[in-house]
Amino acid sequence: MAFRTAFKSGGRTVNAWFPRHMARGVLAIKGKLRNVDCVVEVHDARISFPCRNPLFKEELDVRPRLLLLNKADLISVDDQHRILVELAAQGETNVLFTDCLQQLHHSVKQVAPAVCKLILSAPRHHREEANDYSIMVVGIPNVGKSSLINALRRINLKKGKGSLVGATPGITKSVLTRIRVSENPPISVLDTPGVMKPQIDAFDVGMKLAVCGTILDHLVGEDMIADYLLFVLNKCRIFKYVEYYELPAASDDIWSVLKHIAVRMGKTQKMKALTGIGKITMHRPDYNFAANEFLRSFRGGLLGKVVFD
């Protein structure tokens, strides 16, 4: 079967999402930099390249920087190797893949030693006397910054959550107070709000950011995000959704896929309609529920591993 080779937006666009808390966040991040030994940029491993916010590299480069490509559980090991090679070619060598969801995952255990190594290899300026290490976690929304802090606490201190986590972007709204994540060596972390670029350069970049849940869904439109996801899954020939939702076959028609999901999950809405033979009750599939369900399953890793860049 032939699938779409290009995505048609039908004239719809993806607007930048840069609410006031992000503008305030940028100022607060820059303001706190003086008391920070290392910046850890957390990003989503599925969108490793054009979807990053260059602000973190350009404006925070006065401190050693570690790039963590999180949600590594959602991409294949082969893709991880390929991404590392491409990043190294771009001069980005301090890179680790992490999975913060699995309890005590070995990938998170590498973070504290990597941070310490970076801090010890660079001058600490006026912080030379400070006997604890201070790191700041930055990144675009919903990539797992707060989850990383909680995972570090769990692994190094055997302690519970220090920062609020959520499946929607924009959970952390301000730079938080220091959170202790390790005693030996002593490391404290500043959690920060996810910050987007104030403008989105290309439609494709916006859609990738949206599929990965970094922009509030309703700002882009759940149906368009679901359609973009279907387009990518089909283009990459990842047909796990067919089996998962027991569809008769792969399809490039989002409305028929969403209808099938809604009916299968019993999500239809009763509607009264006036016809030539009088008032009748019709059952309309809840397309919005189905689009949200499709996106939730994908984001939870149930529909296959995809790299968008």
Ligand X SMILES: Nc1nc2c(ncn2[C@@H]2O[C@H](COP(=O)(O)OP(=O)(O)OP(=O)(O)O)[C@@H](O)[C@H]2O)c(=O)[nH]1
The entry of Mg ion, ligand X, none near residue 74 (CB within 5 to 8 angstroms by kind) is: ligand X
Applying CB under 6 A, among 169, 287, 290, 308 the residue interacting with ligand X is 169
Only one of the segments 16-24, 55-63, 161-169, 259-267 lies at the binding site for ligand X (rule: CB under 6 A); that segment is 161-169
The residue sitting closest to ligand X, measured at its beta carbon, is: 194
Spatial contact of 119 and 37, defined as CB atoms under 8 Å apart: yes
Distance of CA 276 to the CA centre of its chain: 50
Spatial contact of 48 and 194, defined as CB atoms under 8 Å apart: no
Between CA 38 and CA 260 the distance in angstroms is 49
- The yes or no reply on residue 40 touching ligand X (CB under 6 A) is no
- The yes or no reply on residue 206 touching ligand X (CB under 6 A) is no
Q: Which residues pair with 66 in a beta bridge?
A: 40
Only one of the segments 5-13, 110-118, 159-167, 182-190 lies at the binding site for ligand X (rule: CB under 6 A); that segment is 159-167
Only one of the segments 125-133, 140-148, 258-266, 288-296 lies at the binding site for ligand X (rule: CB under 6 A); that segment is 140-148
- The yes or no reply on residue 166 touching ligand X (CB under 6 A) is yes
Only one of the segments 19-27, 139-147, 202-210, 228-236 lies at the binding site for Mg ion (rule: CB under 5 A); that segment is 139-147
Q: How many CA atoms lie within 13 A of 71 on its CB side?
A: 24
- The yes or no reply on residue 146 touching ligand X (CB under 6 A) is yes
The entry of Mg ion, ligand X, none near residue 70 (CB within 5 to 8 angstroms by kind) is: ligand X
- The yes or no reply on residue 147 touching ligand X (CB under 6 A) is yes
Between CA 122 and CA 62 the distance in angstroms is 10
- The yes or no reply on residue 227 touching ligand X (CB under 6 A) is no
Instruction: Report, in Å, the least distance between residue 264 CB and ligand X.
Output: 24
Q: Rank residues 68 and 291 by Cβ distance to ligand X and give the closer one.
A: 68
Q: How many CB atoms lie within 10 A of CB 243?
A: 9
Applying CB under 6 A, among 25, 170, 206, 285 the residue interacting with ligand X is 170
Only one of the segments 71-79, 123-131, 248-256, 286-294 lies at the binding site for ligand X (rule: CB under 6 A); that segment is 71-79
The entry of ligand X, Mg ion, none near residue 167 (CB within 5 to 8 angstroms by kind) is: ligand X
Residues 6+ apart with CB under 8 A from 109: 155
Instruction: Report, in Å, the least distance between residue 115 CB and ligand X.
Output: 18
Between CA 251 and CA 165 the distance in angstroms is 35
Instruction: Report, in Å, the least distance between residue 194 CB and ligand X.
Output: 3
Applying CB under 6 A, among 50, 185, 221, 301 the residue interacting with ligand X is 301
Q: What are phi and psi of 189, to 5 degrees?
A: -125, 140
Burial track 188-224 (b if 16+ CB lie within 10 A, e otherwise): bbbbbbbbbbeebeeebbbbbbbbbbbbebeebbbbb
Looking up tokens 């970076």 gives 118
Applying CB under 6 A, among 48, 53, 172, 234 the residue interacting with ligand X is 172
Residues 6+ apart with CB under 8 A from 81: none
Between CA 285 and CA 294 the distance in angstroms is 14
The answer to whether the bond into 141 is cis (omega within 30° of 0) is no
- The yes or no reply on residue 87 touching ligand X (CB under 6 A) is no
Q: Element (H or E) spanning 243, and its range? A: helix 240-244
Where do contacts with ligand X occur on this chain (CB under 6 A)?
Answer: 70-71, 73-74, 99-101, 139, 141-147, 165-167, 169-172, 193-194, 301
